[in-house]
Chains A and B, each alone.
Chain A
Amino acid sequence: MGLKPPGAGITGEAKCKRKIGPGFFTLLRCELLLALRRQSELVNPLLFFVTVLALMPIGIGPEPELLTRLAPGLIWVMALLATLLSQEALFRGDYEDGSLEQLALLPQPLYFAVSAKILIHWLVTGLPLALLSPLLGLMFNLPIAGYLPLAFSLLLGTACLSLIGSIGAALTVALRRPGLLLALIIMPLYVPVLIFGSGAVQAALDGYGYSMELAVLAAILTAAGALAPLAAGAAIRISLDH
């Protein structure tokens, strides 16, 4: 009567595991909605980015040649800091209200949930930063040749930063005030992205091609896209144990 054919449970589970796509997209939509509803969190990194960059000419002097010389590095370092500051909140809300634990309990691997969160993080911080870059180029007297490489390198580079930073955010999510610690552990890992990101702009300003730098950034992005969610997922499981 109540006998089930052997293996019935397994097929159910297997079916559940196969449905990665719908789960991923549901999560994506939910995360995006949440991000758009918390508008101050969305705008703050951008405001920080623009405000600190506006302080720079005040600090170092408004000579156009000097600003042109410093623009690639300054804009890139500030983009790095803005991403880093917003990274702290990546898993925080979900950790505090317990939904991170529920995500970890899903039959789907944590990899996809983490990827969805990182993708949304990039969409609401990295992408606007890249879109803002022409404005900053104007402020910093960037020659026309620098605009395109700046926008493209920020587009690729901020995605790398979001991915790499997610590992740090996952490792420190159980701490009450992770801000400085997160910066300490993640900054050294950001070095290659910074080098190639500002390198692309500098190469374009010096009149060279910049496709090599962009290609390296894209390579870092693919590697980080494959591996960083894995590490971040493992880090979340460690942090949930705390």
Chain B
Amino acid sequence: MAWQWFNRLGSPRWFYQKSSVWMPWLAAISLLLLITGVVWGLGFAPQDARQGNSYRIIYIHVPAALLALAGYYLMAISGAIGLIWKMKLSFLVMRAAAPIGAALTFAALVTGALWGKPTWGTYWDWDARITSMLILLFLYLGIIALSRALSRQHTADKACALLTLVGTVNIPIIYKSVDWWSSLHQPATLKLMEPSSIHPSMFYPLLLMILGFYCFYAWTLTAHTRILILQREWRTQWVQQLLTCNKI
């Protein structure tokens, strides 16, 4: 009986019904946090002494980069849960997380490049962090490509979960080796001019943005998962009922 909630969690129908209640809340909270964070960060936070206004891209860059990595781990964990407990829903969450993660990684790379131009004087630099983000993007794209290539959804789910897990084992190794590589090949020409402690007046809006990004991520992930559930389960009675009642 203690496992009942766990089994229920694995049912796409249960998730679909529950999440329709969560969706407006998640949307409202993330919009509130994001709007407050953007207005505070871009309009009211003080200028940086060295970087001027250009540092303000941090309010997009850092949350996107954080979530890009966290998203990969979320994908790996849900893939593992799917493989171990054969849970349909967690495979769907994994599949939904891949394009979102890729988009966030891409956003982190683009904002990083735009930030690099005024501060470092170049859009692209083979710095350890940038390079490992690029490889993370390739990992995401590979998983998406694999999921599209396998026609049988059941196989695609398991194959993607396995590839994600292999990638998880590799991420620390890739990160460490790229770090080693760039420290060897690039003796401190360009350093990320990040102050070790960021002033509270700049930090609070950043915190708001990070929280807002997390809520936004949860919202998008839920929305994507709901679409995948409908696609997968459209033959079932409950989806047909929803269709006839025009509730979608």
**A residues at B contact (CB < 8 Å):** 167, 171-172, 174-175, 178, 181, 184-189, 191-192, 195-196, 199, 216, 220, 227, 231, 234-235, 238-239, 241-242
A185 pairs with B150, CB closer than 8 A? no
- 17 A-B pairs (CB sep. < 8 Å): A175-B149, A181-B146, A184-B138, A185-B145, A185-B163, A187-B138, A188-B138, A188-B142, A188-B167, A188-B170, A189-B166, A191-B174, A192-B177, A199-B184, A231-B166, A238-B159, A238-B162
Given contacts A172-B146, A185-B146, contact A196 B162 (CB under 8 A): no
Give the nearest-CB partner of A228 in chain B: B166
Residues of A within 8 A of B150 (CB): 174-175, 242
Interface residues of B in 122-169 (CB under 8 A from A): 135, 138-139, 141-143, 145-146, 149-150, 152, 154-155, 158-159, 162-163, 165-167, 169
- B181 sits at the interface (CB 8 A): yes
- B44 sits at the interface (CB 8 A): no
Residues of B within 8 A of A175 (CB): 149-150
A188 pairs with B174, CB closer than 8 A? yes
Q: What is the count of residue pairs linking A and B with beta-carbon distances less than 8 angstroms?
A: 77
Is chain A's binding surface mostly helix, strand, loop or mixed? helix
B163 pairs with A242, CB closer than 8 A? no
What is the CA–CA distance of A16 and B16 in the complex, to the nearest angstrom? 49
What is the CA–CA distance of A189 and B163 in the complex, to the nearest angstrom? 10
* In the complex, the 3 A-B pairs of residues with the closest C-beta atoms, listed nearest first: A185-B142, A192-B177, A188-B138
Give the nearest-CB partner of B143 in chain A: A185
What is the CA–CA distance of A49 and B145 in the complex, to the nearest angstrom? 27
A184 pairs with B145, CB closer than 8 A? yes
> Closest Cβ of chain B: how far from A231's Cβ, in Å?
6
What is the CA–CA distance of A184 and B139 in the complex, to the nearest angstrom? 8
What is the CA–CA distance of A181 and B134 in the complex, to the nearest angstrom? 18
Sample of 6 further A-B pairs with CB below 8 A, known A188-B167, A199-B181, A216-B177: A167-B163, A184-B138, A189-B174, A192-B174, A195-B177, A239-B159
